[in-house]
Structure 1
Amino acid sequence: MTEDIIVAGWMDYEPGDRDTMLKALVELGRRTREREPGCLDYAMTADPADERRIRVYEHWASQQALDEHFTTPHIKDFRAAVAGLTRLGVGLTAHTVSASRPMR
């Protein structure tokens, strides 16, 4: 039995670079959700309280699915597209999920 992986946290970019990064992440997220069956959710959003911050949420069916994500052609395209942007900081954590339950 595999355990789900949640990647959560934030990335900070120069204010002028954040919107460019978000556009690239929207395309990456679309390709990731369409082409990777191990991706259960993939969302990057602008933090409304901080013009530099992007909030990160990814949900993967397994560690293997996450590892394979980093070898895909669309990740390589994404990295090339954002190579010139200035990242100021990052705080990402991968969580191994041993149990989940719906909230009401």
Structure 2
Amino acid sequence: MTEEIIVAGWMDYEPGDRDTMLNALVELGRYTREREPGCLDYAMTSDPTDARRIRVYEHWTSRQALDEHFSTAHIKDFRAAVAGLTRVGVSLQAHTVAASRPMR
């Protein structure tokens, strides 16, 4: 059985660059969720209290699925499109899921 992976954390961008990056991430997320079978969820959201921060949440079926994501053509295109934006901080962690249960 493969273990699911959750990527969570944040990325900070110069205030003038955050919304541009966020818009690019929204499109990337839509494409990733629709076309990568190993992606269970992919959400990037603006932090309502910090004009620089983007919150990151990704859920993958396996480490292999996440690794394959980084080698896709749409990731390469995305990286080229946002290359000029200034990231000023980052804290991202990949977590291996040991167990899950529904919350009510």
Which band: TM-score by shorter chain? over 0.9
Residue 29 of structure 1: CA displacement? 0.3
| 1:49-86 deviation per Cα after TM superposition (whole angstroms, max 9, x unaligned) | 00000000000000000000000011001000100000
2:90 & 2:14 partners in 1: Cα distance?
12
Please give the per-residue CA displacement for 1:7-40, whole angstroms capped at 9, x wherever unaligned: 0000000000000000100110011001100000
Does residue 4 (structure 1) correspond to residue 4 (structure 2)? The answer is: yes
Q: Work out the percentage of aligned pairs sharing the same amino acid.
A: 87
How far off its partner does 1:98 sit? 1.2
Question: Structure 2: where are the runs of 5+ without partners?
Answer: none
Give the Cα–Cα distance (whole angstroms) in 2 for the partners of residues 84 and 51 of structure 1. 19
RMSD: 0.4
What stretches of structure 1 move > 6 A for 4+ residues in a row?
none
Task: Find the aligned partners of 2:74 and 2:35 in 1 and give their Cα distance.
Answer: 9
TM-score (normalised: structure 2)? 0.99
| Consecutive unaligned residues in structure 1, runs of 5 or more | none
Alpha-carbon distance in structure 2 between the residues aligned to 1:73 and 1:32: 11
In structure 1, the partner of 2:23 is 23
